[in-house]
Structures are given as structure tokens and as C-alpha cells.
């Protein structure tokens, strides 16, 4: 059935190409045009056929009685009259071949006058004259006609028009046999599906399962049958188009997934930028700090984040930066002490030259410990201390005052504008760098990894 559908599609394509390509079929497959012309209501045009028949009569008459005989002159006069009628009445118009007539006229004018702008009627009158044929030898001129003019006349045809005002087209007489066969198959297959699968109805469930077969049953829009043929050939594996389909899907999905990811990420970042620039993000933060924010999990996220950041800063970050902090403090103290008059006097005293440096080093070490160890010990003591209502109250008051002070400071117009500008620029940089990085990504690699994961045992 797949091969029959393919054959039917081939006939449909041939039928659609027949009229535009009839010249090609006529020159190379003349027997085919004799068989198929009646289907399209085509027959040889009487005027051009009469023209070619008269030329053949002239050829025979010249051979029998010579070119200058009265019979030959009579045939030449008839050809001159037919040429004028052909130019005036244009028998090529019905076949939509007016361009072919123009080609004939140009060739004749070029042959007689050497000028395509000359009169075509005068060119034909001169060509079909005894003087010209005798002077140029009639054998050479008839050979020119056979080579340049006759093939253009032969392809002309007349196509009958039906009562509906359209050209006659009886392809349906061939197509109806295929439609009847496909209809019988469609009914049988859908009925078998209702017997094979319980719970589905013949109409519309079983029919919709084979929706693509409906294109084979339409006498119009016949090109849609390519969908049915493609599906049937794929199911019959004639040939096996699964590798091609998989490759096309890979290319499409890889490109689509990459572009979709970019669009989603860029849209999210744009929404964040808009929220920051319009002040919605700041208002949400201030509402959270002021406890007017809607809580969905009984947890103050801002307070929890602040505590976690405080813990990380005191317990992890400050001990790591203590040497750098101590070096910075030592340098600043040495610079400040070296400018004091007392420092210059102590340096001159024997045995006291290294005393200022020792003092600044010890002082820097103590100050750095003050910034690192003291907060760390305090935080550790508070965290490990037993429950103390007074300490908890003081801690809560500290957090409350800290939040209030932070909120008031952030709500300062200059601070808020600066933070919004910085955050917006940061989001813009993230967006640009992400899209740039994704443009260099390999969608094929991602898709290949996904397919490999699907093939893992147990999936």
C-alpha cells in the first residue's frame, strides 16, 4: 500500500507538471503525449498543423514539378497567406505560448533581414517567394525551416474548454481508482482497530488514529498526499528514514533549546533589572525589614541571611585576612610614627633604634586581634552560652536596631540610587556574558549527552 501511495503521488506530480512541461515530453517522449493529451483535452492546433502540412506539400511539389511551376507558386502564395494569418490571429494564445510565436518571428526576421526589429510579415512574404528560394536554394531554406521554425510550430496545441469555463482535465478518471482503493483500505483498517482495541469508537477515534490517510481520499489539494506517502514509507521502512528524522530532530532541538534557554535567562534578568530600576526590589526589601512583608514559612529570611553572613564573616573571613590586616595596620602606623619628632629622637639614641618598629608591630598585632579574635570569641560565647532571657532580649534588640538603622540608611536617596545603578549594571554584565558564553556553546554536545543518559540501564 505504501508503494501504491507512492505511485499515485508520482502520477499526481506528473499530471501537475504535464501542461507546463509538455514541450519537453513532446520532444523526448512523443508517444507519451499521444496517450496523455486526451486526458488534458489537448489536440494539435489545426492552424499550425495546416501550416506544416502545406510546407510538406510544397516540398513534394518542388521535387515533382520544380520550384518555378504554377503549382509550387500556388502553394507559396498559400504559405504567405497562412503566415500573415498566424501573425494576426496568434494561434499560440490558447496554449499560453505567445512567446513561442515571438520567437518564430524573431528567427525569421533575423534570417531574412538580419534585424529583429524588421517587419515579420515582410520577412515571411520574402521567405516564401520563388525568387528568394531560387536565389538561396530551396533545399537550404527548407532545412532552415525544419531546424528553426518547424519544432516551434509542432509544440503548439489547442486545449478544449468545458461547460464550466475551465480547461478539460480528466485526470480524475485515473485518480478515482486509487481513491476508491485507499477508501476501502481506510475503512478496513479503522474497523480492524475498533476490533483490536476495546473502548475506541469507529468514528471518530479509530479514524483519527489514521488521520494522515484522509489526504489520499481528497480529489483536491492533491499535493497534501506527500504527507501520507512520507508517513507510510517511513512505517514500511522504504527506505528507513529514522536516521534522517533523528538527525533533523537533533539539529532542530539543539538550536531550539539553546535559543529558548537564552530567551528565558535574558527575560528573567530583564525583569530583575526592571524591578531594581523601578524601586520594586528596594520596597520589597524594606517591607521585609519592617516586618510588613508576607511570610509563607514562618522564617525571616533577611534576618537569617544577615546572621549567616555575620557568622561567616566573623568565624571564617576575619581569621583568613588577619595577616593582611596586620600588615596594613603596621604600614600605616609606621608611616604615622615616623613623622613624629619623638621618633627621630629615639632613633638617634644608641640601642633604641628598633624600639619604635617593635612597638608598631606589637600594636598592629593587637589591633588586628581586636578586629578578628574578639568578635569571633564573642560570637562563639553567645552561640554556646545557655539560654539567657536577658541575653536573648539584648540580642533581639540589637538585631532590631541594626535592621532599623540599615533600613533608614538604605532609604537615603543617594545611597539607594547608587545601589540600584550598581545592581542594574551588574545584571547587565551577567546577561551579556551569559549570552556570549551560550553563543559559543555546543548544543549538539548537550543533546548527545541527554541521549546517552536516556540509554543508561534502568531508564
| pTM to 2 decimal places | 0.54
Helices 172-196 and 2-18, interaxial angle, to 10°?
150
Give 113-164 pLDDT, tens digit per residue.
988 788 999 999 999 999 999 999 999 999 999 999 999 999 999 999 888 8
pLDDT score for 268: 73
Is residue 15 predicted with pLDDT exceeding 90? yes
Q: How confident is the model at residue 390 (pLDDT cuts 50, 70, 90)?
A: low
111-125, 150-164, 267-281, 431-445, range with the lowest pLDDT: 431-445
Considering only 109-113, 149-153, 268-272, which range has the smallest mean pLDDT?
Answer: 268-272
Q: Are 59 and 142 in contact (CB under 8 A)?
A: yes
pLDDT in tens, 34-63: 999 999 999 999 999 999 999 999 999 999
Q: Check residue 354 and give its pLDDT.
A: 56
pLDDT at 440 over 50: no
pLDDT at 271: 73
What's the pLDDT at 156?
Answer: 94
Instruction: Report percent pLDDT > 70 for the chain.
Output: 56
Least confident of 60-64, 178-182, 407-411: 407-411
As a whole number, the mean pLDDT across the chain is 77
Amino acid at each position: 500500500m505504501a508503494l501504491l501511495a507512492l505511485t499515485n503521488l508520482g502520477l499526481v506530480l506528473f499530471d501537475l507538471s504535464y501542461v507546463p512541461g509538455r514541450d519537453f515530453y513532446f520532444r523526448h517522449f512523443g508517444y507519451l503525449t499521444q496517450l496523455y493529451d486526451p486526458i488534458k483535452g489537448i489536440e494539435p492546433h489545426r492552424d499550425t498543423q495546416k501550416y506544416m502540412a502545406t510546407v510538406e506539400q510544397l516540398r513534394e511539389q518542388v521535387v515533382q514539378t520544380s520550384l518555378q511551376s504554377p503549382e509550387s507558386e500556388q502553394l507559396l502564395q498559400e504559405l504567405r497567406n497562412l503566415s500573415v494569418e498566424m501573425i494576426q490571429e496568434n494561434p499560440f494564445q490558447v496554449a499560453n505560448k505567445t512567446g513561442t510565436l515571438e520567437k518564430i518571428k524573431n528567427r525569421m526576421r533575423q534570417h531574412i533581414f538580419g534585424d529583429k526589429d524588421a517587419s515579420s510579415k515582410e520577412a515571411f512574404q520574402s521567405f516564401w517567394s520563388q525568387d528568394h528560394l531560387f536565389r538561396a536554394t530551396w533545399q537550404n531554406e527548407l532545412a532552415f525551416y525544419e531546424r528553426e521554425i518547424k519544432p516551434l510550430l509542432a509544440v503548439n496545441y489547442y486545449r478544449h474548454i468545458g461547460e464550466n469555463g475551465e480547461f478539460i482535465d480528466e485526470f480524475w478518471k485515473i485518480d478515482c481508482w486509487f481513491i476508491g482503493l485507499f477508501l476501502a483500505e481506510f475503512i478496513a483498517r479503522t474497523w480492524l482497530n475498533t476490533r483490536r482495541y476495546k473502548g475506541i469508537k469507529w468514528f471518530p477515534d479509530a479514524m483519527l488514529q489514521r488521520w494522515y490517510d484522509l489526504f489520499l481520499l481528497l480529489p483536491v489539494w492533491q499535493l497534501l498526499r506527500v504527507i501520507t506517502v512520507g508517513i507510510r514509507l517511513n512505517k514500511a521502512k522504504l527506505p528507513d528514514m529514522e536516521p534522517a528524522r533523528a538527525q533533523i530532530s537533533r539539529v532542530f532541538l539543539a538550536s531550539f533549546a539553546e535559543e529558548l534557554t537564552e530567551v528565558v535567562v535574558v527575560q528573567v534578568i530583564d525583569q530583575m533589572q526592571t524591578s531594581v530600576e523601578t524601586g520594586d526590589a528596594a520596597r520589597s526589601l524594606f517591607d521585609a525589614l519592617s516586618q510588613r512583608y508576607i511570610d509563607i514559612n514562618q522564617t525571616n529570611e533577611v534576618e537569617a541571611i544577615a546572621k549567616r553572613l555575620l557568622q561567616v564573616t566573623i568565624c571564617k573571613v576575619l581569621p583568613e585576612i588577619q595577616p593582611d590586616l596586620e600588615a596594613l595596620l603596621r604600614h600605616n602606623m609606621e608611616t604615622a610614627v615616623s613623622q613624629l619628632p619623638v621618633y627621630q629622637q629615639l632613633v638617634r639614641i644608641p640601642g633604641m633604634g628598633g624600639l619604635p618598629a617593635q612597638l608598631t608591630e606589637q600594636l598592629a598585632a593587637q589591633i588586628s586581634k581586636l578586629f578578628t579574635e574578639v568578635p569571633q570569641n564573642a560570637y562563639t560565647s553567645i552561640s554556646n552560652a545557655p539560654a539567657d532571657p536577658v541575653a536573648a532580649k539584648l540580642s533581639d534588640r540589637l538585631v532590631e536596631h541594626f535592621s532599623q538603622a540599615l533600613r533608614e540608611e538604605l532609604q537615603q536617596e543617594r545611597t539607594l540610587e547608587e545601589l540600584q545603578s550598581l545592581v542594574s549594571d551588574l545584571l547587565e554584565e551577567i546577561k551579556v556574558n551569559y549570552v556570549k558564553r551560550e553563543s559559543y556553546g555546543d548544543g549538539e554536545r548537550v543533546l548527545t549527552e541527554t541521549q546517552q543518559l536516556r540509554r543508561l540501564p534502568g531508564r
